[in-house]
Amino acid sequence: MSSTQPSPESLQQQVDGIRWFHRIDLGDGVVTPGLDDTPAKLRRIQLPADLTGKSILDIGAWDGFFSFEAEKRGAKRVTAVDSYCWSDESWAGKSGFDLARRQLNSQVEDRFMEVEQISAAELGGYDVVLFLGVLYHLRHPLLALEKLAEVTDDLLILETKVDLLHAKIPAMAFYQDRELNRDPTNWWAPNILGLEHMLRSVGFGHFEVVSRPKPLWSRLLRKPTQPGQWWREVQQGRVTIHARKKGY
């Protein structure tokens, strides 16, 4: 342990003072107690094992798990972008990200930026863009995908909530209030076909679903999170998409 690094006891004390979303292994037996099962999500999104020499943009980085993971896998440059989570003091703001970056001796860059502000002029282009758990929180999802297309040089990895899974046409559900997970920051969720059409409309020529919603029988058996919402929630799930612009 270097002289600049805290003792395991001091590190644990700092971790305990922060409300975490991601579960990050900080070394010395200290893992942040995030609400999200981040290692499981890492498996679902199928982040390439070797990112040597690649540039990575992580939009909606929060505590930074996926930014730091990309760096571990050899990325030459990683930029973490967030605004809402880093300004929300009820979640300790940006202190989790900053602590993890210091402890991991990370060179990940950070930009405080709304999705609508993203552009090639501001950020340049990136080989891989991560957009995990963000789309359904946005009031203008198609505009967001246009912004992503502008900064994605090769691969977009998009993980999101989907709805209307039984619709046979491209469709999107709108949530006026707390209909999705009792969270008023959730606005839209497309079905998979709708998501494909949206991505193709902004320039992504190749679309691959790498993780799908739980099977129908599992969704039929689950207990609804809100009274009277069973059938609505049966039609919901999560997906991960790999979308590319070139070579197809």
Tell me the C-alpha distance between 9 and 19, whole Å: 18
Tell me the C-alpha distance between 142 and 145, whole Å: 5
CATH numbers and ranges of domains, the chain: 8-244 (3.40.50.150)
Residues in the chain, pLDDT under 50: 1-2, 248
| pTM as predicted | 0.93
From residue 188, how far is each of 119, 164, 213 by CA, in Å?
22, 11, 17
157, 107, 159: which is closest to 129 by C-alpha?
157
Q: How many CB atoms lie within 10 A of CB 8?
A: 14
Tell me the C-alpha distance between 231 and 205, whole Å: 33
176 CB burial (10 A radius; 0-12, 13-18, 19+)? exposed
pLDDT on residue 247: 54
